[in-house]
Structure 1
Amino acid sequence: MSKGRHVCFLTGTLNAMAGAERMTAVIANALAESGHTVSILSLWDKDSCFPLHPSVGHEALFAERPSFKKAYLATVAGIRRYCRDRKVDVLVQVDTMLALFALPATVGLGVEHIAWEHCHFDEDLGRRARRFARRLAARYCKHVVVLTEGDRQRWEDALRPRSHVVAIPNPLPFAFPVEPAPRTAKTVLAMGRLVHAKGFDVLIRAWKQVSAKAPDWNLLIHGEGEERQALTALIEELGLKDNVSLPGICQNAAEAYRNASVFCLSSRYEGFGLVLIEAMAFGLPIVSTDCKRGPNELLQHGRNAWVVPLDDATALAHGILASLDNASLADQFVECGRNSATAFDLKCIARQWALMLYQ
């Protein structure tokens, strides 16, 4: 039975294998499963990389990504028409940049706005307009959802928002694994878009040092992106073609975690770092950089992970080698990590969203 109001998630596209898009589908599905009226409006491309609950309607304003400078008015008009015709009560902007479209589009319609920030506050991803969009969201949205407590505090301190800023972490997108990974394969796993922010260049340089002491181990980096060519060239330059692979986007994350023995995150910054929670749930010891914002809240060095400085290939190599050499400490990290990951159960996070929607 429908639970009152119509909640619409406004996103750029669902047809991209990326974290924000994945979480849009996961949260929308969970709310629909519990009886809420939920829809998703993409700005472009009506296809989705992620399965959607049968009751979640998904439409797109444009078949392909337009130039939003040229199509700004058409985009605003399309959002307004959708919200008016579908009687949308709550519009969740799956990126604070979307406030630039959503807020003017709904003037006078009585729509409540929630801005969902997936990037940490001190990173604008090279778009200065994001800073302005955050100010709009802080002033005119009813709620702003951020992923960590540290980011919630940054919003409060920097913007003094009228909005209610709430920290709701990303959930595990799958049921909690009953059994941890066996950790029998000599494989270190990494996942993420092949972009500068993920620091895979540092990880590959670190692996040069790892392979010198553990030549029978392999590094598997799942993902796709603009740095594929540069990373492939680096692998060849360092002579690592036999034990470093870039197999592309992971189609079965659960299988990848089960077939690994260590997980490594080499990022320069992260909004949250969902892959850390996933790896913990599957019982993989973690080696991670001490980057903002999620990892340095999720991880404690020596308790549930090896945490090393940013952009330091030697430190990263030492952390990886420690995870291979110290089985008892790795087991301790696994137990602690599995316990920590239970707090990110999807039903628990969906309840937090549902409570906020009716505040």
Structure 2
Amino acid sequence: MKVLIVNAILYTSETHCVKKVSSIDDCMIYDLCLAFQKAGHEVTLFAAEDYRPTEQTEFPFEIVWAKTKLTKLFPANVLPYCPYIRKLLKDRDFDLVITSEVFSLLSLMVVRHARCKVIVWQELAKHNNLLHKLPSKFWYNIIARLFFRDVTVVGRSNNAREFISHYCNNVASTFIDHGVNPDKFRPRADKEKFFIIPSQLIQRKQIDLSIQAFSEFAAENGDYSLYIFGEGEERENLETFAAICGVSDRVKFFGKVPHDTLTEYLAKASAMLVYTRKDNNMISVVESIACATPVVTTSVPYNAAYIKKYQLGIVSDNWGKDELNEIINSNSFYINNCINYREELSDDRRVKQFLELR
């Protein structure tokens, strides 16, 4: 079967000027394409030229790099406009197109021009706050009802499924979360005495609250450390805050490291910590569970629903030292739950779920 996956935005960029990376082989959608290929399908990924890696030039499947147009009006990191998708759909025959988000110019062009089955993979679960939510409300109430009315839509979480059900008629009763390649994430039951935060170091991630909670935990548990991976404008402030909390010797900032290196640390950690103020589905949470590393998080990420349901960690909006003590005291319990659940997160499973929607 010939499958086209339309996912212009390959990774998160906080600015309109997309920061280049050397490789995209650690992107979620890249592994999903590999899983479709592994299942015997011919896969093509449609992505924005802005995200083309600087060093990686050969790929195991076809990637169509499309130029973004009118970028001042439609920023490449938010709402990319790639009119080439129309020509691709006209010139090529596909059996299935999977496109990201109902609120997307690309998805609109896909549902207007595709000559085959289309599945829209919906992550957003609430209106975008831009301009008092007016563009978002217009799109969902007018565009979605007109052009996406009978298109198959599947949420990436229950939150997304419930939200989009207000605007589209053919919404799947289940949801398909982000997946991982299980071969890249080996579970490890014997953990080391440190917590881990893989994250952009920006304000909305509220890493200072994680540091504060860790400092209170560390006052009673002197042999644990906190490892923070990632870059961002808040790094200097966070280093200063760790010193103020008296744990600068126990909090280590690694910066941005190769994904393989991060995965090794993720598998060794006793738990991953999340205190984000705003996020959708966090792929780092999925990767942590795949490594059998439980997660302590607020209820903000949509992943929190199944973390709570299957006891893959602790979900609390104001977690602190008590929750950290609990995750350590019952570490084996949570680790075993992650090991039992990890296969549900595999990209192979995601491929089967998509094909069941046909």
Q: Please tell me the TM-score bracket, short chain as reference.
A: 0.7 to 0.9
> 1:202-217 counterparts in 2 under 5 A?
202-217=209-224
- 2:35 is matched with which residue? 30
- 2:255 is matched with which residue? 248
Confirm or deny: 8 A CA contact 2:267 2:288 kept in the other structure. Answer: no
Q: Does 1:291 align with 2:292?
A: no
Over aligned residues, Cα RMSD in angstroms? 3.6
Confirm or deny: 8 A CA contact 1:96 1:130 kept in the other structure. Answer: no
**Whole-angstrom CA distance in 1 between matches of 2:157 and 2:331:** 26
Q: 1:218 aligns with which of 225, 231, 239?
A: 225
Which secondary structure state, in structure 1, belongs to the residue aligned with residue 181 of structure 2? coil
Confirm or deny: 8 A CA contact 1:323 1:330 kept in the other structure. Answer: yes
Q: Does 1:59 align with 2:55?
A: no
Which secondary structure state, in structure 1, belongs to the residue aligned with residue 163 of structure 2? helix
Which secondary structure state, in structure 2, belongs to the residue aligned with residue 208 of structure 1? helix
Q: Does 1:80 align with 2:86?
A: yes
Q: CA deviation at 1:242?
A: 1.6
- 1:318 is matched with which residue? 322
Confirm or deny: 8 A CA contact 2:70 2:81 kept in the other structure. Answer: no
Q: Kindly tell me the number of residue pairs found equivalent between the two proteins.
A: 338
Query: 1:243–1:258: structure 2 CA closer, same or farther, 3 Å change rule?
Result: same
Q: CA deviation at 1:187?
A: 0.9
Confirm or deny: 8 A CA contact 1:147 1:271 kept in the other structure. Answer: no
**Whole-angstrom CA distance in 2 between matches of 1:8 and 1:283:** 29
Q: Deviations for 1:223-264, whole angstroms, at most 9, x for unmatched residues?
A: 234443443443344343222123223422330123322222
Confirm or deny: 8 A CA contact 2:107 2:120 kept in the other structure. Answer: no
Query: 1:105–1:145: structure 2 CA closer, same or farther, 3 Å change rule?
Result: closer
Confirm or deny: 8 A CA contact 1:176 1:342 kept in the other structure. Answer: no
- 2:207 is matched with which residue? 200
Confirm or deny: 8 A CA contact 2:122 2:160 kept in the other structure. Answer: no
Q: Deviations for 1:77-115, whole angstroms, at most 9, x for unmatched residues?
A: 3222232233455443334442x2442477455355432
Give TM-score, length-normalised by structure 1: 0.78
Where in structure 1 are there 5+ consecutive unaligned residues?
Answer: none
Confirm or deny: 8 A CA contact 1:140 1:162 kept in the other structure. Answer: no
Give TM-score, length-normalised by structure 2: 0.78
Confirm or deny: 8 A CA contact 1:286 1:305 kept in the other structure. Answer: yes
Between 215-224 and 292-301, report the one with greater CA deviation. 292-301
Where in structure 2 are there 5+ consecutive unaligned residues?
Answer: 12-19
> 1:77-226 counterparts in 2 under 5 A?
77-88=83-94, 90-98=96-104, 100-104=105-109, 107-108=112-113, 110=115, 112-119=117-124, 121-122=125-126, 124=128, 126=130, 128=133, 129-135=135-141, 136-137=143-144, 139-141=146-148, 142-156=151-165, 158-159=166-167, 161-165=168-172, 166-175=174-183, 180-183=188-191, 185-226=192-233
- 1:7 is matched with which residue? 4
Q: CA deviation at 1:267?
A: 2.5
- 1:282 is matched with which residue? 291
Confirm or deny: 8 A CA contact 1:80 1:106 kept in the other structure. Answer: no
Confirm or deny: 8 A CA contact 2:230 2:256 kept in the other structure. Answer: yes
Which secondary structure state, in structure 2, belongs to the residue aligned with residue 114 of structure 1? strand
**Whole-angstrom CA distance in 1 between matches of 2:67 and 2:249:** 44
Confirm or deny: 8 A CA contact 1:189 1:221 kept in the other structure. Answer: yes
Q: Deviations for 1:274-318, whole angstroms, at most 9, x for unmatched residues?
A: 4334333333343222335221332249x4433322xx3xx3222
Q: CA deviation at 1:30?
A: 0.9
Which secondary structure state, in structure 2, belongs to the residue aligned with residue 189 of structure 1? strand
Which secondary structure state, in structure 2, belongs to the residue aligned with residue 124 of structure 1? coil
Q: CA deviation at 1:219?
A: 0.7
Q: CA deviation at 1:144?
A: 2.0
Query: 1:199–1:85: structure 2 CA closer, same or farther, 3 Å change rule?
Result: same
Query: 1:130–1:191: structure 2 CA closer, same or farther, 3 Å change rule?
Result: farther
Confirm or deny: 8 A CA contact 1:77 1:105 kept in the other structure. Answer: no
Which secondary structure state, in structure 1, belongs to the residue aligned with residue 333 of structure 2? helix
State percent identity of aligned pairs. 17
Which secondary structure state, in structure 1, belongs to the residue aligned with residue 84 of structure 2? helix
**Whole-angstrom CA distance in 2 between matches of 1:145 and 1:17:** 32
